[in-house]
Amino acid sequence: MDAARLHEYTDDMTQALSIDDVDRPDITRSDGVVVEVEGAGWCQTDNHIVEGMWTDYVEQTLPMTLGHENAGTVVDTGEEVTLVEEGDKVICHPVMTCGKCRPCRLGEDMYCENLDFPGLTTDGGFAEELLTAERSVIKLPDGVDTTDIAPHADAGITAYHAVKKATRELNPGDHAVVVGVGGLGHIGLQCLDAMSATTITALDLKEEARDLAEELGAHHTVDPSSEDVAAEIDSITDGVGAQQVIDFVGRDETTALAPDIVAAGGDHHIVGYGGHVHEPSQSLVDGEFSYKGTLVGKYPELQELVALVDRGDVELRTSRYDLDDINTVAERLEHGEIEGRAVITP
């Protein structure tokens, strides 16, 4: 079958992946599941993987098929699988977990001590078929399109995961700031609006992104290139600051906003990872705020997000591309030229 594979790390996205002919996956474990991929989202993390930015954090053996935001139809199952059967439409949680280690037993999928991450540590979904496991698939409600929903497998639950943590701390009258209304941010914004009664302010350099934010429920928007963000948030929040800031950008200039815009006792959630956190310790102490790193969401959180999609609360802006066009997608995302999320249909 065809698969888009990374052979060596490069900063040249036009050469990111090559389309290889590889064997279809075999099930070797009792809980194996093979999915015919009908949608595989391309995301910023794919660019980072191509650039070699994850080699410090995980082990990767090249060549490797990328693609960690997958949905499709079950075509084969291991002998002890009961959760799904052939023909079922599923979305795939991005990681394969053991279900036995203490983190798994605590429900903390992402901390699994025996974790595989197809598309990051093993072959992913930019291919006709994907080998995953029973603990990674969620059967979709009738009427949910596998191609449309694919990016929720990672972009969606990452945004959802951060927002869920934030909403637990937010009350009516409180303020939340969404930094960056791109692929993740525009999902996070809708989750925030659906799950809380908070006043939302969205920050983005692009006018179209700010317009989209307003359309999706933001009460205020700020343009950091022409407005003084600290002063605007101060004015919007009556000098109190935002109880929760969700930073989908994570660059030096966005993390540096925290001391000025986070309310006392509040949180600055780091979702994007384009740069550094750099602050005096005294600044965290004086404002008693936190920088909270936030990873991909858990399997049950993907179930919750699917429920939100099924309720009509979250709309995903997607555009579809053939497997052959995958490097064009990589190149265009690198230059910020993809609106919403690009989905490959292998």
> Residues in the site for Zn ion, rule: CB under 5 A?
43, 45, 97-98, 101, 104, 112, 154, 278
Stretch that binds a copy of itself, among 36-44, 122-130, 177-185, 250-258 (CB under 8 A): 250-258
C-alpha to C-alpha distance for 77 and 232, rounded to whole angstroms: 54
Which tokens is 19 given? Answer: 């389309």
CB of 284 to a copy of itself, least distance (A): 3
Q: Which amino acid is at 16?
A: A
Strand partners, 112: none
- Chosen residue from 119, 287, 327, 334 binding a copy of itself by CB under 8 A: 287
Stretch that binds a copy of itself, among 8-16, 224-232, 301-309, 332-340 (CB under 8 A): 301-309
Q: How far is CA 126 from the centre of its chain?
A: 17
Within residues 160-179, the interface with a copy of itself by CB under 8 A covers: 164, 168, 171-173
**Residue 228 binding result from a copy of itself, Zn ion, none, given CB thresholds of 5 to 8 Å by partner type:** none
Q: Per rule CB under 8 A, is residue 305 in the interface with a copy of itself?
A: yes
Q: Per rule CB under 8 A, is residue 298 in the interface with a copy of itself?
A: yes
**Residue 7 binding result from a copy of itself, Zn ion, none, given CB thresholds of 5 to 8 Å by partner type:** none
Stretch that binds a copy of itself, among 6-14, 124-132, 209-217, 280-288 (CB under 8 A): 280-288
CB of 227 to Zn ion, least distance (A): 25
Task: Identify which of residues 133 and 242 has a Cβ nearer to Zn ion in the complex.
Answer: 133
Site string for a copy of itself, 177-196 (x = CB under 8 A): -----------------xxx
**Closest CA relative to residue 241, chosen from 226, 215, 227, 259:** 259
- The DSSP secondary-structure symbol of 342 reads E
Return the axis-axis angle of helices 155-167 and 299-311, rounded to nearest 10°. Answer: 90
Task: Identify which of residues 96 and 218 has a Cβ nearer to Zn ion in the complex.
Answer: 96
Residue 342 Cα distances to 3, 257, 302, 331, angstroms: 17, 30, 19, 12
**Residue 43 binding result from Zn ion, a copy of itself, none, given CB thresholds of 5 to 8 Å by partner type:** Zn ion
- Is the separation of the CB atoms in 186 and 212 below 8 Å? yes
C-alpha to C-alpha distance for 13 and 51, rounded to whole angstroms: 9
Q: Per rule CB under 8 A, is residue 14 in the interface with a copy of itself?
A: no
- Is the separation of the CB atoms in 306 and 20 below 8 Å? no
- The DSSP secondary-structure symbol of 53 reads T
Within residues 52-111, the interface with a copy of itself by CB under 8 A covers: 53, 57, 80, 82-83, 99-100, 102-111
**Closest CA relative to residue 139, chosen from 56, 220, 77:** 77
Distance separating the N- and C-terminal Cα atoms of the chain: 10
- Chosen residue from 15, 73, 122, 290 binding a copy of itself by CB under 8 A: 290
**Closest CA relative to residue 337, chosen from 124, 108, 42:** 42
Task: Identify which of residues 292 and 317 has a Cβ nearer to a copy of itself in the complex.
Answer: 292
Stretch that binds a copy of itself, among 147-155, 200-208, 220-228, 258-266 (CB under 8 A): 258-266
The Cβ-side half-sphere exposure at 18, using a 13 Å CA radius, reads: 9
